């Protein structure tokens, strides 16, 4: 049995997506896999047991029926933090190790889901990804998501610490404009420093999509028209703070986007509605006039009213789209396809010591 810890250079880098894609691929190849997530931050009660929601959904996706008490040993809460400050959290290491040994019995491969930053998150209580992967003796894959740049230094530092146990890195969410530079310069540089790049996953707007209903909830807003369309998705947004002529130019170039606009800008609101934007988000807690409401209903376009100003709502929107969880099947299927098309599974199998022909 071999273990594979799936970590990342920062939170919200795509660990869940990569884990789902890898696990499904391994299962399709005939491997019997197990899964656990030692540290979780999204607590949910399932059948009377508190578990990490992401871990539970991942186990479901793999059709696993693990002992829920062993799926996630540490749920980060205020109570846990108080124990961590006093040093009591060291006791959790034994729980993690015991659960790992129990859940890996009769398995060919054990997947271990990471949390936050591999080197840093949980360092204060010695439950960071590096410490856990060393505790379990597992191999490691690190995901680095493009955010204005890639975190080359982090990957090189991790390689120096992990040595041969770092199977490789996956560069995630790389936009078209940075793809050539990544392929021609970044990958050779990393591999010259012994960091194997297992794959480059291109940016895809579908993976950032969120339903209008979830968006309204996370913005702390309210849907005031076309509630029946709350399950439709939004992939991106445009801020309407300019003169109408300039707004029309930008809007026609980016039609399939939600429009964030002040509740008092009925001129821009009407342009967005007539241009068939998927959703209109009005800021300042200002409700639209009757003309806008009527056109919303006629055209079937939902309107969300948010309390904050336009700049604040736009910042929230950016964070929401960058941190949206994989919940909808269409996003999971698209994500797995992207990963499987761009990952070097041959190298991964070789590094894990798995003989495909023997599977």
Q: Encode pLDDT of 279-293 as tens digits.
A: 999 999 999 999 999
Please report which confidence band the pLDDT of residue 197 belongs to, taking 50, 70 and 90 as the band edges.
very high
Number of domains in the chain: 2
Q: What is the pLDDT of residues 25-41, one digit of tens each?
A: 999 999 999 999 999 98
Same domain, 19 and 162: yes
DSSP class per residue in 238-274: EEE-S-HHHHHHHHHHS-SSEEEEETT-HHHHHHHHH
Same-domain check for residues 50 and 109: yes
DSSP string, 283-349: ETT----HHHHHHHHHHT--EEE-SS-HHHHHHHHHHHHHH----SHHHHHHHHHHHHHHB-HHHHH
Residues 193 and 102 grouped into a single domain = yes
Mark whether 109 and 224 lie in a shared domain.
no
Percent of the chain with pLDDT strictly greater than 90: 61
CATH of the domain at 50: 3.40.50.300
Regarding whether 234 and 96 lie in a shared domain, the answer is no
- Is the pLDDT assigned to residue 138 strictly greater than 60? yes
Does 238 share its domain with 263?
Answer: yes
What pTM, to 2 d.p., does this model score? 0.79
Write down the residue that tokens 């300042």 correspond to.
284
Mean per-residue pLDDT of the chain:
89
Q: 143: pLDDT confidence band, cut at 50, 70 and 90?
A: very high
Do 306 and 226 fall into the same domain? yes
- Domain that includes residue 285, residue range: 210-322
Residues 190 and 250 occupy one common structural domain:
no
| Banded pLDDT at 239 (limits 50, 70, 90) | confident
Give the mean model confidence (pLDDT) for residues 107-131.
93
Q: Which pLDDT value is given to residue 359?
A: 44
């Amino acid at each position: 049995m071999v273990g594979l810890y799936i970590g990342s250079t920062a939170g919200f880098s795509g660990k869940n997506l990569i884990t789902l894609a890898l696990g499904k691929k391994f299962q399709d190849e005939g491997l019997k896999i197990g899964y656990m997530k030692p540290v979780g931050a999204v607590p949910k009660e399932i059948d009377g047991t508190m578990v990490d929601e992401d871990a539970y959904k991942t186990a479901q996706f793999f059709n696993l029926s693990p002992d829920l008490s062993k799926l996630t040993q540490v749920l980060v809460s205020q109570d846990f933090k108080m124990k961590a400050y006093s040093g009591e959290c060291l006791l959790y290491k034994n729980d993690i190790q015991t659960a790992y040994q129990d859940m890996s019995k009769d398995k060919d491969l054990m997947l271990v889901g990471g949390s936050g930053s591999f080197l840093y998150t949980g360092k204060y209580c010695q439950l960071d990804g590096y410490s856990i992967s060393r505790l379990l003796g597992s191999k490691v894959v690190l995901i680095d998501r493009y955010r204005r740049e890639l975190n080359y230094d982090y990957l090189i530092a991790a390689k120096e610490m992990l040595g041969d146990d770092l199977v490789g890195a996956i560069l995630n969410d790389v936009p078209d404009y940075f793809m050539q530079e990544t392929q021609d310069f970044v990958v050779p540089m990393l591999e010259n420093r012994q960091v194997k790049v297992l794959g480059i996953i291109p940016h895809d707007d579908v993976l950032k999509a969120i339903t209008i209903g979830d968006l309204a909830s996370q913005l702390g807003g309210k849907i005031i028209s076309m509630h029946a369309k709350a399950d439709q998705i939004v992939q991106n947004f445009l801020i309407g703070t300019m003169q109408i002529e300039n707004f029309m130019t930008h809007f026609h170039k980016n039609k399939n986007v939600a429009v964030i606009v002040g509740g008092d800008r009925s001129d821009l609101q009407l342009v967005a509605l007539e241009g068939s934007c998927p959703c209109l988000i009005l800021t300042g807690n200002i409700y639209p006039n009757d003309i806008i409401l009527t056109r919303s209903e006629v055209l079937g376009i939902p309107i969300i009213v948010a309390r904050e100003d336009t700049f604040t709502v736009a910042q929230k929107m950016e964070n929401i789209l960058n941190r949206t969880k994989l919940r909808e099947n269409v996003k999971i299927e698209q994500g797995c396809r992207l990963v499987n098309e761009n990952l070097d599974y041959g190298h991964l199998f070789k590094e894990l010591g798995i003989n495909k022909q023997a599977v």
